Amino acid sequence: MNRNVIILGIVILAVSFGALSAGAAENLQPRDEVLKTLIKVNDHYLRKHPDPLLGIPYYSRKKVYEANIWTRAVYFEGLMALHSIYPANRYYDYAYKWADGFKWGMRRDDTTTRNADNYCATQVYIDLYRLTPRPEMLTKTKAIMNMLVNTPQIDDWTWIDAIQMGMPALVKLSVTTGDARYAEKAYDMYTWTRNVLAGGLYNSKDALWWRDADFVPPYKEPNGRDCYWSRGNGWVVAALVRVLDELPADAPHRSEYERDLKDMCAALVKCQREDGFWNVSLHDASNFGGKELTGTSLFVYGMAWGVRNGLLDRDKYMPVIVKAWNAMVNDAVHDNGYLGYVQGTGKEPKDGQPVAYDSKPDFDDYGTGCFLLAGTEVYKL
């Protein structure tokens, strides 16, 4: 074959492949539209919750929860992410009123709790401290993190949601203070959950996590496969992103976190629905299958961060991100900013059902937070 013909063929293939990759990126919602969508969704939330200190009613349990529980803390994680790309004063003021109103403390103002759900809010306190540092903002955060460091237990995180609620707080404080002990404790607690609890909640074969010891085999889904809950795995993805976003390039254990994020994202690509969403059960579409926003948002968050930071291959992951983000924007975001397809609280596919376009989960804050985290990373692409 003529050498010039071969070269021309290679060039055509390269151009075609580049065009396909660029086309995927071009099909993504334009950056200004991404921001408008985030503002619309957040404005809906702020209209519904003008006072960030009001208790959160949980009608089915006939209880009212303090407004600094994990569900609200996740919302503020998303709000601070949005503030990082669009620093409207009203966002900062709202977040500051919340943190200061709770005296920069944990749920029930308990600095002795080892429940990561109850100290998830410390992640946001650290973010606010970095903007306007005053010692009293981190007094209680340091107290609880010092307790974790100064006690030998590493077996606190017995459910994978806790990895997101707790690990980024320790690493953020480590980077903020320069004290490596916090990051080391986070690693020890993470690896215990990953490798030791019930034989390890991370299944390296599937590169996915069982939600807690109850779901380790022989537990099976109706179709006979292992149960991997979408949002639970999303929490781990988010935790890894939030940790990697903090750690310097030469930090101990960074390569292990990177490996886990890469492997999980590769596994998640295989589970994506044709419409762009992920099911609540990653390996069994028949078990309460259907569109679900929170897991989808957290996977987009992780993949978009990975692409932007060169950890994930852009040509492979952009079509996945584009399909998922556009699906959420077109199918889940209501005209007034309300979010549909949010699974209510729980720990497995059957919980928090039904999940539909107009369903109303028991809490509306964490879904908004997850969506804001995803959209902020999409905006940065």
Tens of pLDDT, residues 228-242 = 999 999 999 999 999
Question: What is the Cα Rg of the chain in Å?
Answer: 21
pLDDT for 2 equals: 54
pLDDT for 3 equals: 53
pLDDT in tens, 304-325: 999 999 999 999 999 999 999 9
* C-alpha atoms less than 13 angstroms from C-alpha of 40 in its C-beta half-sphere: 15
Residues with Cβ within 8 Å of 167's Cβ and at least 6 positions away in sequence, in order, are 157, 186, 189, 190, 239, 242, 243
Is 0.85 topped by the overall pTM?
yes
pLDDT for 369 equals: 98
| From 32, 93, 117, 161, the catalytic residue | 161
pLDDT for 20 equals: 40
- State how far the Cα of 332 lies from the Cα of 348, in Å rounded to an integer: 21
Which ranges of the chain have pLDDT less than 70? 1-26
Q: 164 near 121, Cβ under 8 Å?
A: no
Cα 228 to chain center, whole Å? 16
Pick from 350, 342, 206: which is nearest to 270 by CA?
206
- CA torsion angle 339 342 344 345 (round to 10): -100
Q: Which amino acid is at 106?
A: M
- State how far the Cα of 372 lies from the Cα of 336, in Å rounded to an integer: 16
The encoded tokens of residue 187 equal 């690693």
Pick from 157, 174, 85, 63: which is nearest to 119 by CA?
157
Pick from 105, 82, 107, 85: which is nearest to 94 by CA?
82
Within 10 Å of residue 170's Cβ, how many Cβ atoms? Answer: 29
Pick from 209, 216, 206: which is nearest to 240 by CA?
209
pLDDT for 11 equals: 42
Q: What is the largest CA-CA distance in the chain?
A: 79
Residues with Cβ within 8 Å of 149's Cβ and at least 6 positions away in sequence, in order, are 181, 182, 185
pLDDT for 60 equals: 78
Residue 161 among the catalytic residues = yes
pLDDT for 61 equals: 85
Residue the block writes with tokens 């959420």: 328
315 DSSP assignment? H
Within 10 Å of residue 188's Cβ, how many Cβ atoms? Answer: 17
Q: 213 near 220, Cβ under 8 Å?
A: no
